[in-house]
Copies of this chain bind each other. A is one copy, B any other.
Amino acid sequence: MRVSRFILFFIAAFAFANTLKADNGYELWLKYKHIQNPAVETRYRSQVNGIYFPSNTDRLLVARKELVRGLGGLLNIQPKFASIDQSSLIVGTIPQTGWAGRTIDASSIQTIGNEGYIIKTIKQNGKSVILIAGNTDTGVLYGTFAFLKLMQTGKSLDNLNIVDYPKTSYRVLDHWDNPDRSVERGYAGFSIWNWHKLPGYIDPRYIDYARANASVGINGSVLNNVNANVQMLSPFYLAKVKALADAFRPYGIRVYLAVKFSSPVELGGLKTADPLDTAVQRWWKSKADEIYRAIPDFGGFLVKANSEGQPGPQTYGRNHAEGANMLADAVAPHHGIVMWRAFVYDHKVPDDRAKQAYNEFTPLDGKFRPNVMVQVKNGPIDFQPREPFHPLFGALPNTPIMLEVQLTQEYLGFSTNLVYEAPLFKEVLNSDTYANGKGTTVSKILQGKYNPKLITGMAGVANIGTDLNWCGHPFAQANWYCFGRLAWNPDQTSAEIADDWLKMTFTNDQRFVGPVKQEMLQSRENTVNYMTPLGLHHIMSANGHYGPGPWTDNIGRADWTAVYYHKADTNGVGFDRTATGSNALGQYRPEVAKYYGDLATCPDEYLLWFHHLSWNYKMRSGKTLWDEMVHHYYEGADSVKHMQQVWNSVQPYVDPELHDEVKQLMAVQYAEAIRWRNSCVLYFQTFSRKPIPAVYPQPEHDLSYYRSLRFMNVPGQGTN
């Protein structure tokens, strides 16, 4: 085995000239590997032979530097910069690009706005010239990355005519990073923010982080955990935050802070944090002024209030709007925003936790300041492998809504499971709320199509850490990538994003891209199958959410347990959210409620989310519910084995070390899938009292074995 790996090394060494070093994943999708097709390379070289790129701002300088780096890698050249008339590539803001910029029509200029760009081929005196231009240096930066992507993905540079711009305004990564560098729900090591060495030392990682974000259009970073440490607002830490803001600014990224609602008390020494108290209001205004003096483009605040023990306006008898508006007023003079999380639940256990956010927020529609965004998770519980869309989408027509998705795989196998999340995100984006009639998708709502005066945005809980490959799993990088792409334009497909990412990260070789893309697109459904098929949810272990724990039944409060959600008994399984149960369905528009509520139309995927059904319930497949559930669990685990086979088959086309790394992780994933499958099937069997159909291999161990497994130091349980 060692010998065969060694032989493969030599094969690969020829395929990957220039890269005798192993690919450790650090370069993300910005590898700029030398193009292997000589005809393509020659053609590209001729099209960048002479570059005009005036760069009089920091942002233009980093764009130009990226272009040098990209062309240096892709084409193995030192770019030649030249006068505008001797260049075949012209890059700059529209005014900078003179006669070339004047070829752009007024409508395109209008369309691209402050962050968009144009890439077009201009025929000039019988010669073809490529123009990359934007209204702003930000647009030029994004356009430069887009141009490089064309080459990275092997696209033709002939007859270009691209007009692109972001469909949402605030495209933000939420880092759940603590000042001690632990990361809550972090599975890729520790926080990349080295607070101790800031402000004096800018880790090279910060720059590569900013480059990666800029390459996909992410324009904001919330630096710290939503379970916020108040010290982040102290002068000690603000000096460090400023240093990061300065480092990120050239890349078009603004920094934000998560703040603790009780900061005026804990940090300011006030007696209350009541948002209607004038001293409290003054404290926040003064704090905001202090921040903006240091960071003029500071983005604003993210707040988790009255949730999971965090203080909030309700602590003082006020509502979320009163709390959010007080903060919004503090940052408004500086053009900052407040992102106010809708993920709330209070001290008393509700009949159905899925209902709480809707109940608390819908009465407040229209009462938030225009610079407040209510940040709503994709589903009503908590980033489960599958949830129906959150009922707040479409229910707050007069409130800016920001979609919050989780890139870090808290419930999706940490960083050992290959799960491409774009299909999950697309599932909610494509969901039809019927709020303004049929076709009122979450995507359109987020783009402000029904209320254009609302600000728009998407937030992704980052999966980034100190791991060499940033995200813990080489394929987890695709989730960072696809988040940026979807926040820029939610209407892109999972497949096209995967295609680009694979080509930029691994190779353009279709023998690799084709089969691996298929596996990526299937990967999330695989994981749903071996973890929570048919609408099951929240049955993970209470030990850091690692692995299965359907038996979890006694840990502090009912809605933290698994049994609260699956409600399995000898009669059946599932959470009745119809009118006979919690009636969470009543929070959706009638069309949606009817669709999910009627067993004739409710998709299998959501069955046990909305319904409690007999183990003998006859599924569309003709199987009983029990047999169908078992089938899904086995299919899920088998699909990982299939993925392993596909991965083995593409070995000749990629870097051998990187291939081996993924192969190892897939073996871990398979073992974890088997453990999920066996744990859940054996556990639910204690209620169904039915056999595992003989076509399936029986679990290797009994239930008591799986319940007895203990895992120490499960990652992601941050402290602050």
- Which residues of A are interface residues toward B (Cβ below 8 A)? 2-3, 6, 9-10, 13-14, 18, 20-22, 24-27, 55, 58, 61, 64-65, 68-69, 72-73, 78, 179-181, 189-190, 194-197, 200-205, 207-208, 231, 234, 236-237, 414-416, 466-469, 472, 657, 661, 664-665, 667-668, 671, 710-715
Q: Which residues of B contact A6 (CB under 8 A)?
A: 55, 61, 64-65
19 new A-B contacts at CB < 8 Å, known A234-B712, A236-B710 = A2-B58, A3-B61, A13-B78, A20-B72, A21-B69, A24-B208, A26-B468, A181-B189, A181-B190, A189-B194, A189-B466, A195-B713, A196-B715, A197-B472, A204-B468, A204-B661, A231-B712, A237-B712, A468-B468
Residues of chain B within 8 A (CB-CB) of A26 are: 24, 26, 468
**Residue of chain B at shortest CB distance from A188:** B194
Given A14-B78, A200-B416, A712-B231: A466 and B20 interface contact (C-beta under 8 Å): no
Chain B residues within an 8 Å CB radius of A61: 2-3, 6
| CB of A48, distance to nearest CB on chain B (Å) | 14
Q: Are A204 and B657 in contact (CB under 8 A)?
A: yes
Alpha-carbon separation in the docked complex, A73 to B414 (Å): 36
> With the chains together, A179 CA to B715 CA distance in Å?
11
A20 contact from B20, B73, B200, B208, Cβ within 8 A: B73
Evaluate contact between B665 and A201: CB separation under 8 angstroms.
Answer: yes
CB closest residue in chain B, given A668: B200
Residue of B nearest to A710 (CB): B236
Give bound CA distance, A180 to B667, whole Å: 24
* 10 A-B pairs with the lowest CB-CB distances in the bound complex, closest first: A20-B72, A200-B668, A466-B466, A24-B204, A190-B190, A20-B69, A196-B715, A179-B713, A201-B664, A180-B713
Give the residues in chain B near A180, CB-CB below 8 Å. Answer: 713
A200 and B664 CA atoms in complex are apart in Å by 6
Structural contact, B20 and A68, CB atoms closer than 8 A: yes
A197: contacting residue among B207, B469, B668, CB under 8 A: B668
A702 → B minimal CB distance (Å): 20
Number of copies: 2
Q: Is there an interface contact between A22 and B204, defined as CB atoms closer than 8 Å? A: yes
Q: A180 to B181, alpha carbons, bound, how many Å?
A: 13
CA of A416 to CA of B671, assembled, Å: 43
Residues of chain B lying within 8 A (CB to CB) of residue A181: 189-190, 713, 715
A70: nearest residue on chain B (CB-CB)? B20
Give the CA-CA distance A715 to B179 in the complex, in Å: 11
Report the separation of the CA atoms of residues A64 and B713 in the bound assembly, to the nearest whole angstrom: 38
Taking CB atoms, residues of chain B closer than 8 Å to A68 are 9-10, 13, 20
A202 & B466 in contact (Cβ 8 Å cutoff)? no
A64 to B415, CA, bound (A): 32
> Are the C-beta atoms of B236 and A200 separated by less than 8 Å?
no
A-B contact pairs, 28 of them (CB 8 A): A3-B61, A6-B61, A6-B65, A9-B65, A9-B68, A13-B68, A13-B78, A18-B18, A20-B73, A21-B27, A21-B69, A21-B73, A25-B204, A26-B468, A180-B713, A189-B190, A190-B190, A190-B466, A195-B713, A196-B711, A196-B713, A196-B715, A197-B668, A203-B467, A203-B468, A231-B712, A236-B711, A236-B712
Closest-CB distance, A471 to chain B (whole angstroms): 13
Chain B residues lying within 8 Å of A416, measured Cβ to Cβ, are 197, 200-201
**How many angstroms between the C-alpha atoms of A451 and B58 in the bound complex?**
65
Closest to A415 in B: B197
Q: Considering the chains assembled together, what is the distance between the CA atoms of A416 and B203 in angstroms?
A: 12
Residues from chain B with a CB closer than 8 A to the CB of A231 are 712
* Cα distance A10–B55 in the bound complex, in angstroms: 14
Smallest CB-CB separation from A25: which chain B residue?
Answer: B204
Per the bound structure, the CA–CA distance linking A73 and B20 in Å amounts to: 7
Task: Give the Cβ gap from A619 to chain B, nearest Cβ, in Å.
Answer: 35
- Residues from chain B with a CB closer than 8 A to the CB of A65 are 6, 9
In this complex, what residue of B is CB-closest to A13?
B78
Residues from chain B with a CB closer than 8 A to the CB of A73 are 20-21
Least CB distance from A17 to B in Å reads 8
- Name which residue of chain B comes closest to A195, CB basis: B713
Which residues in B have their C-beta under 8 angstroms from that of A715? 181, 196
Output the least CB separation between A36 and chain B (Å).
Answer: 15
Contacts of A21 in B (CB 8 A): 27, 69, 73
- The contact of A196 among B72, B466, B714, by CB within 8 Å, is B714
| Residue of B whose beta carbon sits closest to that of A231 | B712
**Measured between alpha carbons, how far is A73 from B22 in the docked complex, in Å?**
12
Across-interface contacts of A64 in B (CB, < 8 A):
6
Shortest distance from the beta carbon of A70 to any chain B beta carbon, whole Å = 9
Nearest B-chain residue to A180, judged by Cβ: B713
Q: Which of A2, A200, A664 has the most CB of B within 10 A?
A: A200
Q: Which residue from B2, B190, B414, B664 sits with its C-beta under 8 Å from A202?
A: B664
Residues on the B chain within 8 Å of A713, using CB: 179-181, 195-196
- Asked if B200 contacts A667 (CB within 8 A), the reply is yes
Chain B residues with CB below 8 A from A3, complex form? 61
Q: In the docked arrangement, what's the CA distance between A300 and B194, Å?
A: 35
- Residues from chain B with a CB closer than 8 A to the CB of A414 are 196
Q: Which of chain B's residues has its CB closest to A250's CB?
A: B2
A55 to B715, CA, bound (A): 40
Q: Which residues of B are found within 8 Å of A195, using beta-carbon distances?
A: 713
Q: Which partner residue on chain B sits nearest A30 by CB separation? A: B21
Q: Which residues of B contact A205 (CB under 8 A)?
A: 24, 468
Instruction: Write the nearest CB–CB distance from A714 to chain B, whole angstroms.
Output: 7
In Å, the complex CA distance between A467 and B206 comes to 12
Question: Are the C-beta atoms of A179 and B9 separated by less than 8 Å?
Answer: no
The residue in A68, A179, A189, A204 that gathers the most chain B C-beta atoms within 10 A of its C-beta is A204
Complex interface: chain B residues within 8 A of A712 (CB)? 179, 231, 234, 236-237
Of A26, A472, A667, A713, most buried by chain B (CB within 10 Å of CB) is A713
Chain B: CB-nearest residue to A666: B200
Query: How far apart sit A670 and B76, CA to CA, in the bound complex (Å)?
Result: 40
Residues of chain B lying within 8 A (CB to CB) of residue A661 = 201-202, 204
- With both beta carbons as reference points, the residue of chain B lying nearest to A5 in the complex is identified as B61
Determine the distance from Cα of A13 to Cα of B179 in the docked complex, in whole angstroms.
37
Which B residues are CB-close (under 8 A) to A203? 467-468
Considering the chains assembled together, what is the distance between the CA atoms of A409 and B111 in angstroms?
Answer: 56
CB distance from A720 to the nearest CB of B (A): 10
Q: Which residues of B contact A20 (CB under 8 A)?
A: 68-69, 72-73
Instruction: Tell me the bound Cα distance from A65 to B13 in angstroms.
Output: 11
Smallest Cβ-Cβ distance to A465: which chain B residue: B466
- From residue A209, how far is it (CB to closest CB) to chain B in Å? 11
Contacts of A714 in B (CB 8 A): 196
Q: Report Cα–Cα, A22/B201, bound state, in Å.
A: 16
Q: Which residues of B have CB within 8 Å of A469? A: 204
CA separation between A306 and B415, bound complex, in Å? 40
Q: How far is the CA of A180 from the CA of B190 in the complex (A)?
A: 11
